[in-house]
Amino acid sequence: MKYKEIETPEALKQLLHNYDIIEYIAFQNLDFSGLEELLKGKTFKNCLFLGCKLPEVLFHSLENCFIFPRLDLPYNSYVNRLYTPEDLYKGYVIGQPESFLQTFDQIVYRHFLKTGKYAKDIKETLARSLHDHAITDALDDFIENYEEKKIVAFMGGHALSRKDKSYTKIALLSKILTEKGYLMTSGGGPGAMEATHLGAWFAGKNDEELIDAIRFIGHAPTFKHPQWLDLAMQLRQKYPVSKYNSLAIPTWLYGHEPTAVFATHIAKYFANSIREDKLLTIAKGGIIFAPGNAGTIQEIFQEATQDHYLSLGYASPMIFLDKYYWTVEKPVYPCLKKMLEEQKYQNLILSIHDDPDEILKEILTFTKA
């Protein structure tokens, strides 16, 4: 029997109004207190209560139910939606860059370091696993709203400067694809990842506004600059609303890097391995590899393996941005191309470009195929 998920107070009240016998429901992070009148005469069978606050009266109405209590930790293991920048940056004060250390994101990161990046305490490992399961559940719910071939990822280095030509190319291309109904996603960090979400944030606005925005935040070129986050926050304040979505998938393993400020939805994980796999798996519309180092190269070969074995039923485009970088500085593209020609890899859809218009054409053609 498939469980139905109830994740909001409104959905909970509606359920209680409509049914006396409630079966196979997973209640996530909900407060049942104050609903005693609605709970009278109700029977719950084969239900899951994940991190819920339950009044005493409810315990007499449970048949074969499972209760997973909240654990006393700085984070909630039963989150029932994706994070937002407002969640992660709660406590940040514009004009006070040092306030970053007091944000929810950094409180969790310090706890992560204190308990060990690879924790051994069973309470902590259980809590992290439950948290990442909840994030995956929320992520899967979110991407159901998009055609699978209209989810496209940018992979690239966190060190890419806001002043770099590639940063502007990524932002403009992400803007165009977002306007065409694509969900743009990234690893949710600085550099190429930030450019992805900045472009999506400016979808529907004119290109000149985006160029001006890049010029403004470019006064703090990389995340190591003390004003990097504050300038981004100031820009969000100037352009506070975006009607378009983008999805960031970061990890607390790299928690010293600020999470993408311009992403509207954030699936932040503890386990980097799960995060990497999820990011590559959902980007069925193609992955664009911007200049990057070890992490990006790892992702390239993970994607190549996934495509070679047709793990998802079909291969997606692997598109490389910056010919010189990927053929000379980091000659990954010639290596993959040679192995494809020699049939040591199969099914890869490879291309390399300097011109964003050519990349756009590749993505649109694949979507229609």
CA dist., res. 279 & res. 335, Å (int): 23
Residue 199 contacts residue 172 (beta carbons within 8 Å): yes
The pair of structure tokens assigned to 179 is 């306007």
Position 85 confidence tier, pLDDT thresholds 50, 70, 90? very high
Could you tell me the domains of the chain? 4-68 (no CATH), 146-368 (3.40.50.450)
Find the mean pLDDT for residues 54-65: 94
pLDDT for res 1: 79
Quote the longest CA-to-CA distance of the chain. 72
Average pLDDT of the residues of the chain? 97
Residue % of the chain over a pLDDT of 90: 98
Position 241 confidence tier, pLDDT thresholds 50, 70, 90? confident
Residue 263 contacts residue 248 (beta carbons within 8 Å): yes
DSSP class of 69: P
pLDDT for res 369: 77
pTM: 0.95
Helix, strand or coil, per DSSP, at residue 1: coil
Model confidence over 245-266: pLDDT tens digits?
A: 999 999 999 999 999 999 999 9
**How far, rounded to the nearest angstrom, does the alpha carbon of residue 242 sit from its chain's CA centroid?**
17
Instruction: Return the H-helix or E-strand segment holding 23.
Output: strand 21-23
